Structure 1
Amino acid sequence: MNAPPPPTDQQPEQRAIAGAALRLVSMAAISAMLALVKLAQTRGVSIFESVFYRQLFAVPAILLLLARSGRWESLRTARPLGHGVRMLLGIAAMSLNFWTMTLLPLAEATTIFFAVPILTTVLAALVLKEPTGRHRWSAVVVGFIGVLIVVQPGGGALPVLGVAAGVFGALMTAAVTIQIRQLGRTEPTLTIVFWFSLTSLLPLGIAMLFIGTVHDPLTWAIIAGIGLLGAIGQLCLTGALRMAPVAIVLPMDYTGLIWSALYGYWLFAEIPATATWFGAPLIIASGIYIVWREHRLARRAAAIRPPVR
């Protein structure tokens, strides 16, 4: 039996490139999924129906990952209550985010979602009591200025209901991030994703008994696209984080603005407002800086941590 080849300096770099590429694919898939959510809504598909089918298709994708890894034992959990809280927050966040897509132009809705790292930093400081220095608080301020430029409060450029749904959706997504951090102290990522997808089908399935409707074949094809693209995005997101650090893959998320602008123009004749192109760079720069700062501090802490003997 031949010994495995020794690791080379190129292997980490190749994995980082592959991880970034997977994240790019996931952003293209997720942006297309959100565009289809908006398109499905114009054909009579409710938001909760879209959320249900998005989750329904996620379960086979996760089972595929488990089958390939053989880590079925990772599904055991000692924190059912924590997973229940994550499920409720996740359904609320996804429903608000889907709703925002139906109320706002795709590019503007996507730009508001970019505030999630900013809001996560604020919640981490308030809820988890994480130390947050002047660097990250400065990035938070810059990011909020970008959000204000995009939404133009009082200017009437965007509908108030859509802006409110987007901001609350981003806030709930940030709350999900905080809950995942807490669960992640004892639970593997795949365990968290699996139990969220599975448990969310219970309340969504009950709701479908009352709101589920019959659709024409084209609408069913759009719904299938939502589920399939959501599953692809989920698989690529998980794979990207397994191959490369967060600081490398997360900046790829901002390509979602390009996809949203393209889908918005192609499907709905939407042209992003000038304010969006001025505010988005501030939000994006703020989010990237926050992630880079956390990554740098984590590496510094790991470097000074004494080795385990």
Structure 2
Amino acid sequence: MPSMSVGMAMGLLIVGNLIAVFSDALIKTLGQDIAVFQFVFFRQLTAVLILLPFCYRSNRKELLDGLKWHALRAHIWLMGAIFMVFSLNAMPLATANAIFYAAPLLMLPLALLLYREKLSRYSIAAGVLGFAGVIVIIRPTEFEWSALAALVVALTIAGNNLLIRKLPKHQSVAQTLLLTNLTGIPASLGLALWEGRDWDWSPLLTAAGSSSFILVYAGICVVAYRAAESNKIASAEYSGLLGAVAVGLVWFGETPDMITLVGTAMIILPLLWLAKIEKQKTIKD
């Protein structure tokens, strides 16, 4: 893979997170009466159908390489998708996304444990300040199940991004995404059958739209986290919160108050500061 600067990797993550907000918004339009496991199955099914044309020339050996890591990521992704539907339908879009963006902070200790990455004081400071901004936005008076569901989503995002480096580097982004969705289909289908709801295919188009947006985000994550150390770029994940505030306002009439704006600033400003620090370090090196 061609070399990529930290700044470029962070820029890609910013674009990816802004795109991912539209996937969340589509999920939120479904309402709380949706058959959750059916919808998650529809998302994986449509993702596979979207990706197959890009992978039809792949040989068997290419697709079987690293299959255990693809399967592990698939089931972590499946868990995150389920809890994401619950949390998005119970919370304002910006609030749910604020909790999702605890993922970069969770990635710091996980990267230390899994890969023994050295954490700079700058990345630690940016992560802590960003998480403080998340807390300001949430303003928790009591810990509700929806907040817990959103934290589970954050943990699955962090785990999936860190496991990207375990995947074979010769596989294309499309192959990686295909295998992640394909190996998770048996479990998602089993959950949909266990759910016991009448099959309703009306959310299929919504699922396809959500899949399209999230595939772009996931593909960008594969490229960015393969190219740079996670502790240097993970704070860029916070940028999607601005998009969540904007989409929540325009699409759902969720007007952010001053405290939400202050919390957002606490998330975005450390991100810009970290990008500047890493750029200066790259120039010196």
Structure 2 length as normaliser, TM-score?
Answer: 0.77
Partner of 1:50: 39
Residue 269 (structure 1) shift: 3.3
Please point out which of 135, 154, 166 is paired with 1:170: 154
Partner of 1:77: 64
Partner of 1:105: 92
1:20-59 map, 5 Å: 24=15, 29-42=19-32, 44-59=33-48
CA 1:291–1:58: 2 relative to 1, 3 Å: farther
| Bigger Cα Rg | 1
Partner of 1:117: 104
Partner of 1:63: 52
Runs of at least 5 residues in structure 2 that lack an aligned partner in the other structure? none
Partner of 1:280: 264
State the alpha-carbon separation in 2 of the partners of residues 53 and 130 from structure 1. 37
Residue 300 (structure 1) shift: 7.8
Residue 160 (structure 1) shift: 2.0
Please point out which of 158, 167, 170 is paired with 1:183: 167
CA 1:225–1:296: 2 relative to 1, 3 Å: farther
Q: How many residues align?
A: 272
Partner of 1:306: none
Kept in 2: contact 1:112–1:166 (CA 8 A): yes
Residue 97 (structure 1) shift: 2.3
Partner of 2:182: 198
State the alpha-carbon separation in 1 of the partners of residues 275 and 162 from structure 2. 14
Q: Kindly report the root-mean-square deviation, in angstroms, between the aligned alpha carbons of the 2 structures.
A: 3.8
Structure 1 length as normaliser, TM-score?
Answer: 0.71
Residue 250 (structure 1) shift: 8.4
Residue 253 (structure 1) shift: 6.0
CA 1:294–1:242: 2 relative to 1, 3 Å: same
State the alpha-carbon separation in 2 of the partners of residues 133 and 21 from structure 1. 22
CA 1:81–1:246: 2 relative to 1, 3 Å: closer
Q: Percent identity?
A: 21
Residue 186 (structure 1) shift: 6.7
CA 1:226–1:78: 2 relative to 1, 3 Å: closer
